Structure 1
Amino acid sequence: MALRDSDPAEVGGYRIEDRLGSGGMGVVYLARSASGRRLAVKVVHGQYADDDEFRARFRRELAAARQVSGAFTAPVVDADADAPRPWMATLYIPGEDLGTHVRRHGPLPPGRLRDLAAGLAEALRDIHRAGVVHRDLKPANVMLADDGPRVIDFGISRAAEAAAMDALTQTGRVMGTPPFMSPEQFASPHEVGPATDIFSLGAVLVYAATRRGPFDSPSPWETATRVVDGVPELAGVPEDLLPFVRLCLEKHPKSRPGPDELLHLLREGRLPEPRPGTGRPDTGRPGTAPAAPPRRRRRWAAAVAATAVLAAVAATTTVLARAGGSEPHQLPAGWHAWHRQAVDPTGGNPDTVGPSGPFSRCVLADKALLCAGDSIMAARFSLADGRNVWAKPMDPTPSEVRSSGGGMIIGTRPGAVYVYGADDHDTKTRSEETQGRTTYTVQALDPDTGEQVWRTVVSTNTDGIGPDTAGAVATPDGVITTVGNASDSYALLDAAHGRVRWRHRLPESLTASSGDCELSGAGGQPYLTCRHLDEGTAGRTHTTLAQLDPATGRSRWKVTVQGAQYLYGQTRGHLVLGTDPLTDKLTGLTLVNASSHILTTVRLDTPRNASGAHLVRGTVYLTLTSGSVRAIDPLTGRERWQSNSTVEQPGPPTASATRLYLASPTGRLAALDLRTGQVTGTLPGRDDGDNSGSETAAAPVLSGDALYVPYGTRAVYSVDVHDL
């Protein structure tokens, strides 16, 4: 690349011979020392030269970078952080960078691709051991030397981004190259660490294997959105490298393995057991109650909104600006702290009695909060101000003594929310044949208006057994639910009209009403879990877990597990099962590989009883009514931490990337550090909920930085998590 008139003749006594390239942080020159050694000299842009804090950080990073071995990187030879334009010189690595090579010659063959994966993992191991985080690992920063890949252009990256982080409250700058950045670089730049380089490693390998990145799109904005919230495109990646790449591209930083573990995976074909405290959470369905429907994965909506500024930049090292004097919180438009109570579904009828307590579940749908419970089939709250737009009762014609109980939201799809209803047949108005019976329905409601899209009767009985007992699962094809007056079958109700598309009997002698079978979802798939009494034994049981094909209802595969176990959810490619710790002390967990269906049993460090067990972001949380919480790594059984949340009778927890949130039926809220369990913030309970029962509340719901907390009687309040 030809030198320009403005380029210096020498830098630090090194004669400049050519221009190698430029980026967001500086210009790189080919230079030669007095002894004839060729060097790559990077001169920092003036915008950093005028920043004293950058210079201080640059000195510290240079000291760390000098400790990095030169076996897999370009070692630092010289530098000057006090020059008018700070610079650093590294050994020049002859050869093409990975990006240029792939553009010219196409994807790497499998053998060379595997060598690249090993070389980059070793390079990151050395870089991270020296206390350096690269933060801009991309094909252009990987040199294909004769003796293996070398990583270049580190040292400045850490100092430059650190300076940007300090300035973020003024300018909103974000550093990196969008196609190879990690989700946290968009969502929470202050929390960027070594795991960011692991994500970039996965993206670089996909590029080397396919000549495209896993999140490529025509615009930087769309690329950033896909990085944060999209599924990577991995077609063309060799089969034996897919597990390696998928682990690198986990959305949550703690879900990604370290370089040593990746090297072990390449050598042995599997990961070693994580060390205590280094578990890698993944998204999974919390909750142990067999009837609990699957939770939706929390989407990084805050991060996607923040990346909108990328539309104006090129897909290179970028500096983004946002107006204003402080980093804005990611809150719904017009949001303010609020608390609201849904309307009384009985219309204030004093003759109608029934349960009184918090909502059982709340979900986000169509930019609103939808909640169900306490005889409300569903109620809609505005995210910004809590306005209760509409509320539908479980039973439109309640009897004198209401028995239909709380409502349940099964799931959502665009334009509809799936719920269940119960119509108690009033003894004054119904015939003797129907007196005392309850008709259970599954319904699809319009989230905007609450109007009924369709309604399907699934059972009529006197037992109080409906879809809430054995669960119901929302799938793209519709709702899989138990049906029949004896709840002895399960069926698919299609999404468009609620018509029964297929129907099958539950295993012989087992019914949903006995509590032996339930439908649940994990990892985006529906499952049927049934507990069987072993013949000729005194109370011994075994459990079958079957993945259902939504198109036919048939089992795709089935496994048998000893004992009475329940499906907690899925994490890192494993289904997690365990006992109900309220009735049976939890001594271990059963893992089922979702691909190979191989069973593994892990023992807990210490057997535990608990009032609830919840799989959230790849960690099992055991909660007690006293407020005690224990975090268990489900892949090893090791206890990560134990904490007193100060929240009595906590409901299911919710987690962000950094904190765990628990709430009580009275609305007391606690935020715990996800790594240590330390309580970092609390809010007291509220006295406006009129709740005196012992029910647990629904899990809090996060939307960006807004947390929505169900409590009291049909009540919700909202708080900015930055205020905790």
Structure 2
Amino acid sequence: MALLDGDPESIAAYRLLDRLGAGGMGTVYLAQAESGRLVAVKVVHPQIADDREFRLRFRLEVAAARRVSGAFTTPVVDADPDADRPWMATVFTPGVSLRQRVQQDGPLSPTELRQLAVGLVEALRDLHRAGVVHRDLKPDNVLLTDDGPRVIDFGISRVTDQQTLTVTGRILGTPPYMSPEQLSSARKVTPASDIFALGSVIVFAALGHGPFDADNHYLTAYNVVHDPPKIAALSGTVREIVQWCLAKEPHERPTPADLFAAFDRVPACDWGPRPDTLEPSRHRLIAASRPPARWSLAMPRPRLVLAGAVCAVVLAALPWAIPQFSGNPQAGPKDIHPTTLGPSWPPKLQLEPTAAQQPKGWGIWETKIASTRALSSSGQQGIDHCVASHLALLCGNRGGAPGLVSGYNAATGRPLWEPRYEPGESTEAVGIDEVTGLGYYATNESGVITAIDMITGKKRFTLSYGYDGSAPVYLPQAIVVISHGKGITAWDPASGKRLWNRPYPTGDAISSLLESRGALYARSEGDKTQIARINPRTGDLLWQLPLSGFKLLAAGDDTLLLQPVDSTGESSGGQAIVLDAKTHKRKTAHAPPGPASYAYDGERFLGLEPNGTVTSIDSATGTQQWSTETRTDSRTDTGGSSRILVAGDRAYFMTTSSRILCLDRRQGNVLWQSASRSDGSHPPSALSPTPTNDRIYGVSQRGTIFAIKPPTM
């Protein structure tokens, strides 16, 4: 749609090109950034821009959306919730909405339906992990693209809409795709509400109508709350799963993990309506005229043969054809893990041709590290690590005094302010608050945390924890630190106000804090080695376990990866256990024999060894899923200093030659490798890359900070 007379020419640094759509909350424009990249910019209507309650909700939702990173969502690249008209820019992904597709071409084919269902489950899982409940999952908010479905407009619901119900004057959601609890009390909305909406969306995609459709939204809402869904036309297995999703009580609905497992057991021919409910002419249309889905999932050959055999029994009795999955293992659906695969598997390793800016290489920008005369004379490069938000990078020098702190524009790499020099100190970049725009760094020798405005570099407040404290841990809810002799202390990141202080859970000295997926763990050593999980906002002790004779390797979602140690603290090789902290059930596991850094992605522990080998351990069973030797040249070693990081479906780490490697975290395949950014001018290092949206930041061995945009994230 063309721009209208009243539309602005630009929003911030984005030049508006076209209208993509409009709704009760605002207008969505196609826009172009200064770099030439296309984005979708959502701008709030003027009539609700002055609503203080709405602005607060918008600000919180933008912050939550920025934390979401997944294969089936659209990343936020920029936003200003404090503008006269609040706006948010997301990556522009060409495609059509599910509603448009079904209205134009009819229900999806079996292959497309399965891809849609699995992709939406993964998107919801990623949203819920980030603390976001969509509240408005519907066909209009599902975008069908060449490489899979995308959930859009998550967390930002319409405020007004024609013929919608209201709750205290407002409604969050659309009645045909709302849950019973959402209609009765918006305060009761939980992730289970999105699962209910998912069931309704699958019905629409398969049959062309929703399970509770009526003449108007009021009757539809009544059906949602009181009547059973109209899904008799669905094939058996899919019908049972959808009915599970559409349970009236939230606690009776499946989780994303339940759905992955359930979808894995669906025969290929069950994806869609029952054959006896379709008219022959419509069946022929689906079979003959629809091209194969470009966004398809692979399936192991043995399962494909079985699924094909089951379908063949049904198809033999029909006078018309239904498209079947061929014997090609790339043609049918995959097992429970919804990784979007290309036309061949495993994918070809993609290599950056040279360490240069686009188009010769993958570089977006590269900036010489800020330094000082004192640093130059000491032979240090000045910066050895960074933390990143979507707007800025905060970098420090933990390698020793003298310390330096600097900030950089994430889009351009330009310094934001003059570097801060901390004589006699090492500096640790702790984190950046996406909501307030504050950055935090610690001066470890004096034991002080400083909060600064990332745009201006001005100091906002300081927090003192003592020279003998631990390195601070940053979470969105709190900044937490161990102060020896004072216990554990947490402060509010926005105000600097102390939230709580508590003694060590066991009375023994706490040796370390661990943050994993928003959870805080404390490990103590003394007469009794213990590990405890602590609520980072309140300080409440959630649980604690004795761990004498074990070393904690990693933790996540109340699951611990432990390695037995002898009386001297030395491990006994590759033996390990996976322990459920709540049930105390344990499984034998095989961990890398040597030192390794670990990441947890919600399903598995990923261990990175110094030689670049990455191993995946199933967090439920302890079994080794895969082990990949990533060595592609003589300098793939990490030197033992790199951490493996997980974002979306990918795992990343950096080598001593300043290469960044990316793996598929489910399959273990190396997907791409950046070129070496090393000239020998600085000591070998293997610092952790920082992935955000469509780019990755790193500190190179040639004394630079850089951003690259690889062919795929």
TM-score of the pair, normalised by structure 1: 0.49
| Greater relative CO (CA pairs within 8 A, separation 6+) | 1
Between Structure 1 and Structure 2, whose CA radius of gyration is higher? 1
TM-score of the pair, normalised by structure 2: 0.50
